[in-house]
Amino acid sequence: MFLRRPVSKNSSQELQEQVINEEEDSSSSDVEVLRSKIRTLQEQNNRLQAVLQAKGNDFIKCGYLFKYRPFASGLLDNPWEMRYFVLRKNLIQYYRSESDTMFPPRGIVKLQSCVVEIEPLKKRRYFTFSIIDDDEKALALRLSTGDAAEGERWIAALEAVGVERQAASDDGPRPPPPAMDIRPTEEAVEKVAKVQRTRSADLRKRGFWKIPFFPAREGPQQKGAAPAQAPSQQTGKPRRGPFTGGVPVHIGSKNSVLSSEEVQNQQHSGLINLVMVIMFATHSRLIIENLLKYGMRSNPLYWVRALVESDVPWQVFACWPALALFIGLAYQTEVVAVRLLSNELRAKEAAEKKSDGDKADDGSSGATRRGVRWREAALAGAQTLTTTAMLLLPCWAVVWYEAPPLAGALLVTASVIYWMKMVSYAHCCNDLRTARRSGEIRPGERGNMEGFTAIEDPMLYPENVTAKNLAYFCVAPTLVYQVNFPRANRFRKRWVLRRLVELVAWFSVGAFLVEQYILPSCINSLHPLNSMDLGHSLERVLKLSLPSLYVWLIGFYILFHLWLNILAEFTYFGDREFYKDWWNATTVDEYWRKWNQPVHKWLMRTVYFPAMRMGLSQYGSVLATFFVSAVFHELLIGVPLQMMRSWAFFGMMGQVRCMKRNNRLSCWDPKCQVIGCA
């Protein structure tokens, strides 16, 4: 039994005072924390007010607009360029981008005697307006924007500063007035630079140390302007005294330019230029060395002869119409599925009317569900047989009849692409039939278009099961089928012509690299590899790395940027995000998510998420996704080359382990990231 020690009155008072003191200390510490937070917020508020004050009171509107260049060629050089415009009370000036506003502007137009003229709207054209100097009858600026509402806001802002709106001529299109010189004069450049230096110095005093100081830029010499004076004749500038032996040169504490304190405030364009000069010199040496050793091996007619004069068996040619036949069989399977679905829904509606609200027989409903499952299983089996034959028949023909590598690569690539398209088509239609049975409307169908743009006349399943719709999907630059696709509203002829010229030019560069560098290096690498000479083998691999990387980059640009965009332009396909910024990827999995968007979206919707719904873990779903990708990489590389060695397969499967290790390193040290996913 525990006995409680009696507590005296004095000790209880001391205990109470101690508790009160502790509470006061805790409350005082909380008050100090709040006061420090208030001081921090006040400092931030003062800094923001300083920034707003530095911008000036004459600021009205700013934003990006397309500016017309009257002297652009128009064919290979786009006459419209995007620039950042700033509208003030009495002038409008533009910069290359928003980040260049600390520099003097590239052009200044005074608006005292200007009028704004809106061009007549044309079909599938941008909202275009011109700023014309009414006194000199000269065109100052011709601007456009893709948003008509934004264009009207710019017109209203110009009218607010006194620029009159001038109606377009009703006599039809007239020749534009001559363009005037809107380059800033030397006096205007010096005035703007002086204001910017003053604002930068004021912000530095208030604590903005990261804002760089930009000196004045010499403006272009204007017609009629006085020549620049010599330094000794310039007025208003103090002359530096004689540089005697006792003149101090160290006048304060300064950091090195490349130190961590100053590197973020400096411009590094000179270093980039130096790197480009080094790369140019190094590559020039390699080109000269290759030409002296092998001579000119590149022949533009080699690739044409490889296609025309190659001995391609007729069985390989017959696979091309066979692909169209398999696509037709897949379409007929979906037509049958639509008829079965319509009969099923009519029977269900008749049964509901016949029952008149009575409870349905559980046996009949169970038999109906079993019938639906059997029909869907039969349709899935038919589609599986069709798609499997579509993939295996061309591969068998290429291997069995020993087709040339180029013809075999084209046929196998086409069979893989259309296999993925038909699998996505059958998978999507199966899901839409399930939605029709339950009375649901999937996102992207008519009636559930929230968040979808650039879609005209949306359809609802089974309205999309037509030959025209499937034919459009077969030629569209996507592997994922959906009922409605975003569509573009115009066809740009000159843009397509420029992209075609680029495609031919870059293909010629890639072919030159393959014939001039890669093929000789591969031939010379056979002897070191056969004799197991590790030193020379490593030297050959490193020699192949540079041209191989260039060919890979050129192939990426040709396929994902040029070819898919040209195809999208011909098919009016709206969603042209065929790749993302994979060069900024910091992990391996981020790189695989960004660099090939059509395949990534197909794998996510067709493999990854179905595997997750089947109960696989996230790692198992990723493994299944990379397994499918590895199989197709092996087919695309091994079948045309008649070399089924599983190198591409295990290379892709090894990416899973690489991703896991990379993520583990990133978790240990956030700075340990892959630069450019190298």
- Tell me how far apart the alpha carbons of residues 164 and 133 are, in angstroms, rounded to a whole number: 11
Q: Which two tokens stand for residue 641?
A: 């080359």
Q: Which two tokens stand for residue 634?
A: 């092996």
Q: How far does Cα 657 stand from its chain's mean position?
A: 27
- Tell me how far apart the alpha carbons of residues 233 and 78 are, in angstroms, rounded to a whole number: 45
Half-sphere exposure of residue 10: CA atoms within 13 angstroms, side-chain side: 0
Q: Is the peptide bond before 242 cis (omega within 30 degrees of 0)?
A: no
CB atoms within 10 A of CB 311: 8
Catalytic annotation present for 633: yes
Bridge partners for 82 per DSSP = 66
Strands 59-68 and 107-110: unpaired
Indicate the SS3 state at residue 438: helix
Q: Give the list of residues 6+ apart from residue 560 with CB closer than 8 angstroms, or none.
A: 578, 579, 596
CB atoms within 10 A of CB 537: 16
| Closest by CA position to 403, among listed 333, 519, 317, 499 | 317
Q: Which backbone phi and psi does 325 adopt, to 5 degrees?
A: -65, -40
Indicate the SS3 state at residue 596: coil
β strands within 382-490, DSSP E: none
- Residue of 250, 283, 561, 633 with catalytic role: 633
- Tell me how far apart the alpha carbons of residues 675 and 678 are, in angstroms, rounded to a whole number: 6
Q: Which backbone phi and psi does 94 adopt, to 5 degrees?
A: -135, 155
- Tell me how far apart the alpha carbons of residues 320 and 291 are, in angstroms, rounded to a whole number: 41
Q: What is the DSSP string of 99-168?
A: GGTTSPPSEEEE-TTEEEEEPPP-TT--EEEEEEETTTTEEEEEEEES-HHHHHHHHHHHHHTTPEEEPP
- Tell me how far apart the alpha carbons of residues 329 and 325 are, in angstroms, rounded to a whole number: 6
Question: CA 295, 637, 479 angle in degrees (round to 5)?
Answer: 120
Sheet with 164-166, side-by-side order of all strands:
107-110, 91-95, 80-88, 59-68, 138-145, 127-133, 114-118, 164-166
Question: CA 660, 663, 669 angle in degrees (round to 5)?
Answer: 140
- Which residues are part of the catalytic machinery? 633
